[in-house]
Structure 1
């Protein structure tokens, strides 16, 4: 049978110029096609079980037609099925036969499914699965059919050709929503949901599973297949991540995309942003942007932790030791540490704050109070320390410290933008912002899932004290239902230190984008990359990444953002200039 499309359809490009139908083959324009009907299925399937067919390298149309079965009809059919299976089993016993494993398994499955349908935990669907293979000639079509059938058999799928019904098979696989073959089987909700490629087979469900209370986030499209890469960082052993890439590879773009999608899930996000890249996202999402270094914006390092923190004064004194070491750029000898300890406590006492929790509501002292306490000591070393603090109390760098904290990071999204901070103060300002964020994270009165993003983390890793502070956060964040996202372009510097490697080791989610040739050897060793993975990271286009989540759990993906999301997170100067016009 041969059908020629009308001239108006040919001109409109609505279909092939001709269709010639044979018993086992259909000629569609310049191609030959044949349809296979899937008639047998495995007893159990996992997520994304159709992925091998969807990623077949040849031209293959996979069509899945689904029709829901009404609950009353489903219950009646299950009762009849269970009755037939039970009757078969009793007849076999009466005749003295052995138990049939297939019948026993089918009876158990039918009983379990009947209970799930009765409790409303699942539904039944009639589903038909069809495969249409294309090739330019008969010889290649026969080879493609053999390859597809072998692939299907490896998936425990039995296929039969749609003999004498090739036209119906071809139209069934067109995007028309019409099943003209009606070779359907009954699926339950779970098995049907597993058909869809909503997860990468490279990341098993056991690793990327839900149950965290947050849910999975779409990272992008699988770079080697047609599936999606979804990941739930809060379902891992810890909630931390590291994102490593060379400049311009798309690490901040990917991080902002995850931030935006975690906000959809109700996660509270705090960002330390050295380059003001997150401000547009924060404005669009109704977040708060705090700009330390700008006129009138101050952060007081002496602020005490929230109520409920054990021994808050002692914890604050210990933090101030580390902060002052970063601020002054030196490690204090034991004698000077003792002087600083006494001066800090003296500054607190000067405003009425002691170890008694009843005094902790009083306004905290300022950095100038510490300088005054040091200046009042008779030890010459105290006078030298007070002189070193002068630029930050009365000199050109006092703007950040010369008053109480002016802004509180409230709400679902808060961004600390450090662009206005002088380069000399950025490590100390970053540590101050992290401390303010950490006080929010550890607040026992407000427990919720949180993500703390530290962009350009190399600013902290340059100093040993700030690196130790970051390491403590990485080790402790999970206890407070928080994840620490470390993003940096100085991969080699991060992996060259013990503390940097410890931060990486405490991140269950590791994302690698394009790497510089100078750093690839260190990355390969640290993440145990294969030669192929290392070569991929040397040539990966912008936006492509390798997600590492443990042995055998790796997936290459391309970040996928909607146009609306892209407008909020892009930092491409050309696109931003076009948007301003």
Structure 2
């Protein structure tokens, strides 16, 4: 009865009058009568080779009275190394014996040997530690029959989880005292586990987003493990940017639209760059505005100065004009061509009365046809450049760059503004997106209004050097203007193949991954530092299922929407059917 003497002598300050014990106990082989009830203790003796977060939660979440105890005791590194070495020697000896006798391989033995080798390597590097863990569940019931049924249900639940619960046969008192909150493991049924398994086994943790939601939190969906709402406040993070990566058909546009709608509820101004024309119906439904750059009366002037100009803005406009020309032509300007463009842009501003004096910046700016006219009148290099630019400025593709900006580039509080680029010719797609992004950037102001800029199908922009660079700059600087960037893309390879794509990821405090293409799993896993379980999740996720990554927060959730939201957020052919995301 050493265990009982230890129990009674626990702690010098222990108050024996505390009602931890029943008035009388009567032990049997597998159960014990405690006062007017009965109790039985079950021991966890086996579990699957791979476990997920809070994997013991189903054993705790039972409709019966339970007492659960999880005992953990650290194993010193030198002891752990010695034990592993002996265990690996036994398994290797068995494998050699099997091979020598030409018997069939034991897959379980091979898997255990491989796991032991990997664990030994992690311990040697200091990546993990070993712990002696024991897990007990004491079930209480008013009658022996009810107790037997409750234990049978609990063991069936464990079996469905590939876990093995065994009764504490001939040790019911030790089992009872092992689950009393005094920290004594009277049963001693320990198993050695690593730190990750021990941490995931803790059944009283929560897989939900930690802490109370922020004031501007919006609903992302329902937690895939607990079913609790996942409320996320991007405006409380280090930066306000987010990135959504998924394969085609995984539900990224559905998630993006539900997020935008809920940001609108919070009086956030939302501006969308929409290459496929998917957001026009959403804008119409919420009273937003739609701009189709390049259509009649929808020109955007890259030479227009921002409403709150700073001393360096004129210089930036001159440099940006050269970037627009490079993007339109699809090649970098030579030094002589860049000098010709700079001289022509400066002359165009001067012709409109705009100089380095800020007092002149409120005058009507020049437009691109005036710049190309001055180029044609200059040197032979300038004339050649003007001729190559003619289709984009005065020819059939000139509707975007040939006039003054007539429409707003962002919306007011709680309003949605969509740039519909679906009708833009492929030859003008890159330069149009660049000019639109620039117009949005110039319109961002530090006036207290939260603004969200969403770039859908961002892979189209990331394929263009100038566009990717501009997107990277927006990701780095948007927070200074109380704005957040939302990058939505279905091509993980384009995002991860360039340093600018990695910059966008690094500057996105909120990251959402939906189902990925099989060929992209390895790259996505490395770029976002996913665990094996998280990689498996995004490889097999259903439509609308996603993984939220934000610092230490890693939550799997399913996108949900109210019926009216659902109707507005459907995309493609699904918009004509009954469901989908």
Q: TM-score band (shorter)?
A: 0.5 to 0.7
Cα gap change, 1:429/1:289 in structure 2, threshold over 3 Å: closer, same or farther?
A: same
Q: Secondary structure at the match of 1:398?
A: coil
Are the equivalent residues in 1 in contact too, given 2:322–2:341 (CA < 8 A)?
Answer: yes
Aligned with residue 435 of structure 1, among 412, 434, 438: 438
Distance 1:468 1:373 in 2: 28
Residue 316 in structure 1 maps to residue 322 in structure 2: no
1:219, CA displacement in angstroms? 0.3
Are the equivalent residues in 2 in contact too, given 1:267–1:451 (CA < 8 A)?
Answer: yes
Distance 1:366 1:251 in 2: 38
TM-score when normalising by structure 1 = 0.65
Corresponding residue number in structure 2 for 1:126: none
Distance 1:460 1:139 in 2: 64
User: Residues 88-144 of structure 1, C-alpha deviation per residue, up to 9 Å, x if partnerless?
Assistant: xxxxxxxxxxxxxxxxxxxxxxxxxxxxxxxxxxxxxxxxxxx999x9964231466
1:392, CA displacement in angstroms? 1.3
Are the equivalent residues in 2 in contact too, given 1:238–1:506 (CA < 8 A)?
Answer: yes
1:334, CA displacement in angstroms? 1.9
Corresponding residue number in structure 2 for 1:139: 148
Aligned with residue 418 of structure 1, among 410, 416, 421: 421
How does 1:73-92 map onto structure 2 within 5 Å? none
Residue 204 in structure 1 maps to residue 206 in structure 2: no
Corresponding residue number in structure 2 for 1:127: none
Are the equivalent residues in 2 in contact too, given 1:209–1:235 (CA < 8 A)?
Answer: no
Distance 1:155 1:242 in 2: 47
Corresponding residue number in structure 2 for 1:567: 567
1:228, CA displacement in angstroms? 1.8
Corresponding residue number in structure 2 for 1:257: 258
Corresponding residue number in structure 2 for 1:470: 471
User: Residues 526-545 of structure 1, C-alpha deviation per residue, up to 9 Å, x if partnerless?
Assistant: 01112221121111111001
How does 1:102-141 map onto structure 2 within 5 Å? 138-141=147-150
Are the equivalent residues in 1 in contact too, given 2:208–2:228 (CA < 8 A)?
Answer: no
1:295, CA displacement in angstroms? 2.8
Cα gap change, 1:482/1:132 in structure 2, threshold over 3 Å: closer, same or farther?
A: farther
How many aligned positions are there?
410
Q: Secondary structure at the match of 1:439?
A: helix
Are the equivalent residues in 1 in contact too, given 2:207–2:226 (CA < 8 A)?
Answer: no
Are the equivalent residues in 2 in contact too, given 1:58–1:144 (CA < 8 A)?
Answer: no
Q: Secondary structure at the match of 1:56?
A: helix
Distance 1:144 1:458 in 2: 51
User: Residues 168-210 of structure 1, C-alpha deviation per residue, up to 9 Å, x if partnerless?
Assistant: xxxxxxxxxxxxxxxxxxxxxxxxxxxxxxx9734322xx752
Residue 495 in structure 1 maps to residue 496 in structure 2: yes
Residue 284 in structure 1 maps to residue 315 in structure 2: no
Residue 367 in structure 1 maps to residue 333 in structure 2: no
How does 1:39-438 map onto structure 2 within 5 Å? 56=58, 60=62, 138-142=147-151, 201-205=207-211, 210=214, 215-378=216-379, 380-409=380-409, 410-411=411-412, 412-438=415-441
1:54, CA displacement in angstroms? 12
Are the equivalent residues in 2 in contact too, given 1:60–1:132 (CA < 8 A)?
Answer: no
Are the equivalent residues in 1 in contact too, given 2:273–2:455 (CA < 8 A)?
Answer: yes
Distance 2:296 2:314 in 1: 29
User: Residues 257-300 of structure 1, C-alpha deviation per residue, up to 9 Å, x if partnerless?
Assistant: 11000111111111101011111111111111111132332111
Distance 1:155 1:489 in 2: 53
Are the equivalent residues in 2 in contact too, given 1:200–1:555 (CA < 8 A)?
Answer: no
TM-score when normalising by structure 2 = 0.65
Distance 1:282 1:547 in 2: 26
Are the equivalent residues in 2 in contact too, given 1:512–1:546 (CA < 8 A)?
Answer: yes
Distance 1:61 1:219 in 2: 30
How does 1:507-546 map onto structure 2 within 5 Å? 507-546=508-547
Are the equivalent residues in 2 in contact too, given 1:257–1:565 (CA < 8 A)?
Answer: yes
1:384, CA displacement in angstroms? 1.3
Distance 1:560 1:154 in 2: 40
1:568, CA displacement in angstroms? 0.9
Are the equivalent residues in 2 in contact too, given 1:246–1:516 (CA < 8 A)?
Answer: yes
Distance 2:313 2:234 in 1: 30
Q: Which runs of 5+ in 1 are unaligned?
A: 1-34, 37-50, 64-130, 157-198
Distance 2:425 2:64 in 1: 59
Q: Secondary structure at the match of 1:518?
A: helix
Distance 2:54 2:251 in 1: 29
Q: Secondary structure at the match of 1:399?
A: coil
Residue 485 in structure 1 maps to residue 483 in structure 2: no
Q: Which runs of 5+ in 2 are unaligned?
A: 1-36, 39-52, 66-139, 159-174, 182-204
Distance 2:428 2:481 in 1: 29
1:58, CA displacement in angstroms? 7.9
Cα gap change, 1:132/1:473 in structure 2, threshold over 3 Å: closer, same or farther?
A: farther
1:314, CA displacement in angstroms? 1.1
